[in-house]
Amino acid sequence: MSSLRLLGVSWWLQFKMIMRSPFDGIGNVIYPLFFATTAFFVFRAGDSPRTLIYASFGAAVMGMWSSVSTSAGSAMQRERWWGTLELLVTTPRHFSLILLPTTLGLATVGIYNLAATLLWGRFLFGVHLTIAHPLLFALAILGTVLSFAGLGFLFAVSFVRFRAAWVLGNFFEYPVWLICGFLVPLSFLPGWVHPISWALAPTWGMSAIRESALGGSPLPDIGACVGLGLGYVVVGVLVTDRVLRAARVSGSLSLT
């Protein structure tokens, strides 16, 4: 129970800090809208059977991923700049309970991104959306947010030894947009890419959101998305232990 309380309080604290950050709270929200707008224009100009509704959901989840990828990669680097990393590492709670709320906060901002992109499509491009299964749609969004937080957490702990961690987080923005079926169906991609796509929760989150909105059966996708998200968290916890032990042994936590 105290762990849940810690997660809740830390998530709220991180969320408030993110919303007041010009880069995370404004930049990361506006930036994907430019890509969404480009995608809307491309799909509107093209003669594909894929409609603007397809593009609208894809662009919305692109925005969700953007809010996580760059900033989660540098989450620990930020604590290092603020001089709080050592203090957080020495707290009596497991460090993953401290870090996970950060990426959860970033993923929560993704809900705003999703809503903003859908409204952007509605009012600027006339994309009328009807959600076939509202409850499942909400569940799909929740599952996607949780899995993005898990993947962001794995990024954050994996990149802790890199000074330029933000670059690595940033680096994964385009590839995930490309291979997770946001705007390009997986069938368009080479066969060797498919297993990589299936191992990434955003693929299943995207599918779940589309299925629930368009009247399919999203539950298997939601299950795969949440399952993978939990898997990322478990791996992240193991990596946390290993990375922190190595950093303590070599005295390199601050990278100075």
CB 96 within 8 A of CB 76: no
Binding of another protein by 7 (CB under 8 A): no
Binding of another protein by 185 (CB under 8 A): yes
Q: How far apart are CA 199 and CA 169, in angstroms?
A: 18
CB 15 within 8 A of CB 67: no
Instruction: State the virtual CA torsion across 157, 17, 182, 55 in degrees, nearest 10.
Output: -170
State which of residues 170, 214, 216, 244 lies at the interface with another protein (CB under 8 A).
170
Q: Within its chain, how far is the Cα of 85 from the centroid?
A: 23
Binding of another protein by 222 (CB under 8 A): no
Q: How far is CA 226 from CA 44, 105, 147, in A?
A: 33, 17, 6
Minimum CB separation of residue 163 from another protein in Å reads 7
State which of residues 87, 132, 167, 196 lies at the interface with another protein (CB under 8 A).
167
Minimum CB separation of residue 162 from another protein in Å reads 7
State which of residues 9, 13, 30, 132 lies at the interface with another protein (CB under 8 A).
30
Nearer to another protein, 6 or 184 (CB): 184
Stretch that binds another protein, among 41-49, 115-123, 206-214, 241-249 (CB under 8 A): 41-49
Q: How far is CA 79 from CA 57, 188, 245, 253, in A?
A: 34, 41, 18, 11
Instruction: Provide the binding-site residues for another protein, judged by CB under 8 A.
Output: 22-23, 26-27, 30-31, 33-35, 37-39, 41-48, 50, 55, 162-164, 167-168, 170-171, 174-175, 177-178, 183-185, 188-189
